[in-house]
Structure 1
Amino acid sequence: MISVGRLLRGVALLVLASTVLSAIPARAQEEFPFGFVMTLDAARMPGSKRIPSIEVGDNGEVSLELWCDGGKGQFSIAGNTIIFVPGAMENRTCSPERAQADSDLLAALKEATTWQRQGDFVTLIGSKPLRFQINTN
């Protein structure tokens, strides 16, 4: 049987631990990596060395390099919300598989509504999450 004193010490330790943990500030959302190139966290397509990347300028302007095509666009970012508007895209000669992958990636970018950053990774969250690694070298 547990003594009342032992029970009270256990409750006191639990209260003390919860007080200490609640005093530690939650880690704030890291800032969006404006000015950095970010590479899609994906494997290369067979027969290609390319992996899609985006660079978001200080004012949200975007340079895209997709599986085949490249182009411009614009991000609007407020807090953890994000809106992507594609701009002019170059129509390069590419296989039907790469053209479809480009189309799918652009659609996923347009459908992203929120973002989160964890260290050197940024995830754009929509119907299909897109995880990008920030190139810090």
Structure 2
Amino acid sequence: MEMMLEAPPQPGSKRIPDLDIGDNGETVLELWCKGGKGQFSVAGNTVIFVPGPLEDRSCPPARAQADDELVAALSQATTWKRQGDLVAFIGAKTLRFRLNTN
């Protein structure tokens, strides 16, 4: 499952974070600047995300901070729900991703 965060790009960039989640929960993250891997575990509507190390790509400080905040928000998500092409990860902050359907 490949999905893109519903968020505007960071100033000076056209990139928008996306997740590529495999059948066994293995995840490839491409954020505003950084990238890495992680693991999702899902049971019913409960979700746990465990991030792996992120590749530091000499990011500008604002983008690096936004990437770190996004990973932290995913790690704090405890539930998820899907409505059509939208997937929401819900925790301290709700993150909405749109499934790539092409």
Same fold? TM cut 0.5: yes
Partner of 1:99: 64
1:88 positional shift: 2.3
Q: C-alpha separation between the residues in 1 aligned to 2:12 and 2:64? A: 14
Which consecutive residues of structure 2, in runs of 5 or more, have no partner in the other structure?
none
Secondary structure of the corresponding residue to residue 94 of structure 1: coil
Q: Deviations over 1:63-118 (max 9, x none)?
A: 00011100000000000000000012111111100000011001000000000000
Q: If the length of structure 1 is used for normalisation, what is the TM-score?
A: 0.73
Counterpart residue type for residue 20 of structure 2: E
Partner of 1:129: 94
Partner of 2:39: 74
**Higher relative contact order, chain-length normalized (CA < 8 Å, sep 6+):** 2
Which consecutive residues of structure 1, in runs of 5 or more, have no partner in the other structure?
1-35
Q: C-alpha separation between the residues in 1 aligned to 2:35 and 2:101? A: 22
Q: C-alpha separation between the residues in 1 aligned to 2:33 and 2:58? A: 8
Alignment RMSD, CA only?
A: 0.5
How many matched pairs?
A: 102
Q: C-alpha separation between the residues in 2 aligned to 1:127 and 1:82? A: 13
1:118 corresponds to 2:83: yes
Identical amino acids, percent of aligned pairs = 66
Which has a greater percent of helix? 1
Q: If the length of structure 2 is used for normalisation, what is the TM-score?
A: 0.98
Q: Deviations over 1:114-133 (max 9, x none)?
A: 00000000000000100000
Counterpart residue type for residue 67 of structure 1: W
> Where has structure 1 moved over 3 Å in runs of 4 or more?
none
